[in-house]
Amino acid sequence: MSFLGYTDPSVSATNQVFNIVAIPSGVYRYWREGRMVWPLTWVVIVGTLPGVFIGALLRVVYLPNPSHFKLFAAGVLLYIGLKMVRDLLKKNTSGDAKTDSEKRFQALMKNYHSKSVAKEMCLKKTSVAHFNFKRLGYTFYDESFDVSFWGIFILSFIVGIVGGVYGIGGGSIIAPFFVTFFGLPVYTVAGAALMGTFVTSVAGVVFYQTIAPLYPNISVAPDWLLGALFGSGGMAGMYLGARCQKFVPAKAIKWMLSMIIVFTALKYVAAFLGY
């Protein structure tokens, strides 16, 4: 949308085709390393799916105008980006605890992947402590976390609507919300967010393709070739990112994401205002 000027409603579905092609390599990597928190993944999927369908309809019916859509996208991105920047600049003891936890995780992974230790060391990866309609508790590489089931579900539903409109599947923007609202480290939710994005993208593409005949005057169906072309490059990037993410400080990832998000949002606002 920013570089190709592709602003029809079908850009949302095309972006979801990209997700379908690119994401499996990253999901495979997280699954192989035992970093997929499956109960969290299922809650994300069940919550975002209905939201994605609602978002797709809102996109076609109420936001077919490119300028209006860009303003909507800018609002979503600006909120996420500024909240991430605020959290990064805020100093508190819980933040220090998260940093210590992250450092322990990175040290653990470095030791595990060193040739001298890997053969002797057996990691306790992901295990579920409890999972019901009230709480979800899990252990991720010896670090324990506990979150509200309904909090995750409601957040997933809202994010699903936004993701359905924007065309990013929902799960791909839920990770920053997990980090900011629930205090979950990036490295524990990345796999669940990625898997959620894949499943909801499949549903989103099918839905956009199904409703396309109902809107003959608007480009609604995905551009399969363009989506596959971008996805083929994204596939290598997803696998590499999933492999390297555990070695990169979460703070560095957050700063990079927040700067990209804020810059893109401001660019959309400027375009809407005619600059």
Does residue 55 belong to any structural domain of this protein? yes
Local structure of 246: helix, strand or coil: helix
The boundaries of the domain holding residue 138 are: 10-273
Local structure of 127: helix, strand or coil: strand
Sheet bearing 143-148, strands edge to edge: 126-131, 135-140, 143-148
Is residue 176 very low, low, confident or very high in pLDDT (cuts 50, 70, 90)? confident
Q: Is the pTM of this model over 0.85?
A: no
Is residue 6 very low, low, confident or very high in pLDDT (cuts 50, 70, 90)? low
- Of 41-55, 78-92, 201-215, which range is least confident? 78-92
CB atoms inside a 10 Å sphere around CB 90: 9
* Contact residues for 257 (Cβ-Cβ < 8 A; gap 6+): 81, 84, 176
Does residue 44 belong to any structural domain of this protein? yes
C-alpha distances out from residue 162 to 77, 156, 167, 248, Å: 10, 10, 8, 28
Reply yes or no on whether the pLDDT at 265 is more than 50: yes
- Cα–Cα dist 82/266, whole Å: 11
* Contact residues for 193 (Cβ-Cβ < 8 A; gap 6+): 44, 171, 172, 174, 175, 178
Does residue 37 belong to any structural domain of this protein? yes
Token pair listed for 185: 């480290």
The total number of structural domains in the chain stands at 1
Does residue 28 belong to any structural domain of this protein? yes
Q: Which residue has the higher pLDDT, 37 or 169?
A: 37
Is residue 162 very low, low, confident or very high in pLDDT (cuts 50, 70, 90)? confident
| Structure confidence at residue 119 (pLDDT) | 47
| Structure confidence at residue 120 (pLDDT) | 43
Does residue 4 belong to any structural domain of this protein? no
How many degrees, rounded to 5, is the angle at CA 58 between CA 202 and CA 61? 115
Token pair listed for 83: 């909240």
Does residue 116 belong to any structural domain of this protein? yes
On average, the pLDDT of the chain sits at 78
Does residue 268 belong to any structural domain of this protein? yes
| Structure confidence at residue 116 (pLDDT) | 46
Does residue 218 belong to any structural domain of this protein? yes
